[in-house]
Structure 1
Amino acid sequence: MEQTQSACHIHGGEGGGQPVRKSHHSDEMKANLINRLNRIEGQVRGVKGLIEKDTYCDDVLNQIASIQSALNSVGKLLLEGHMRSCIVERIQSGETEVVDELLTTVHKLMK
């Protein structure tokens, strides 16, 4: 997996509301993620077309498995960057509750 360069930033909420956490990814990482997601989007449209054409179910299921794998790869890249930057920064600043947040996210990803 490639290294990511991202950092979490906190922006004030609108009208005194809760602060909004944002991530800052390098232009290279953003382009990588967007390219991957564009390919996934195309694959999903392709599956829709296969279903419309009554393509053999096993062929459609194999395409769906490919899409799931591609989404998992995007998730892994984001998770790695998140852990290397946002999580580390927040733990270093004393926000240990971020570990619970991370565990909840990892559990969702592993479903």
Structure 2
Amino acid sequence: MKAEVKEKLDPRLARIEGQVKGIRNMVQSDRYCVDILLQLSAVISALKKVEDMVMENHLNTCVVDAMRSNEDAERDQKVKELMDVMATFRRQ
């Protein structure tokens, strides 16, 4: 993973970690369900942004390298891997 991507992801992941701890506290404190749901929605959105950043990094590094490779097997493996990941996203 590119160093600049790691630098961008780390504070986002730390924030998400804090949000999840906050949700846990909300549940333990019997907070109003709608308030908990709103916080869950915020965490899910933040995770989707992280997911997008990781996917973009993967496409710009691993996949690009494989496509530039002279190895047919490596290119085929990356295409299959990417199709499998996309199938997982469609099921969500």
Q: Which consecutive aligned stretches of 4+ in structure 1 deviate over 6 angstroms post-superposition? A: none
TM-score by length of 2: 0.86
Q: Unmatched 5+ residue regions in structure 1? A: 1-23
Displacement of 1:108 in angstroms is 2.2
Alignment-derived partner of residue 23 in structure 2: 47
Superposed, which structure 2 residues align to 1:23-102 within 5 Å?
A: 24-26=1-3, 28-93=4-69, 94=72, 95-102=75-82
Instruction: Give CA deviations for 1:7-45 in whole Å, capped at 9, x if unaligned.
Output: xxxxxxxxxxxxxxxxx322x321211110000000000
- Higher strand content, 1 or 2: 1
The AA in structure 1 aligned to 2:60 is R
Tell me the equivalent position of 1:19: none
1:108 matches 2:88? yes
Q: Is the 8 A contact 2:19 2:39 kept in 1?
A: yes
Q: Which runs of 5+ in 2 are unaligned?
A: none
Alpha-carbon distance in structure 2 between the residues aligned to 1:107 and 1:33: 24
Comparing both structures, which one devotes a greater share of its residues to helix? 2
Q: Distance in 1 between matches of 2:83 and 2:42?
A: 26
Q: Give the root-mean-square deviation of aligned CA atoms.
A: 1.3
SS at structure 1 position matched to 2:34:
helix
Residues in 2 aligned to 1:58 and 1:103: alpha-carbon distance in whole angstroms: 36
Identity of aligned residues (%): 34
TM-score, structure 1 normalization: 0.72
Number of positions where the alignment pairs a residue of Structure 1 with one of Structure 2: 87
Matches of 2:30 and 2:65, distance apart in 1: 51
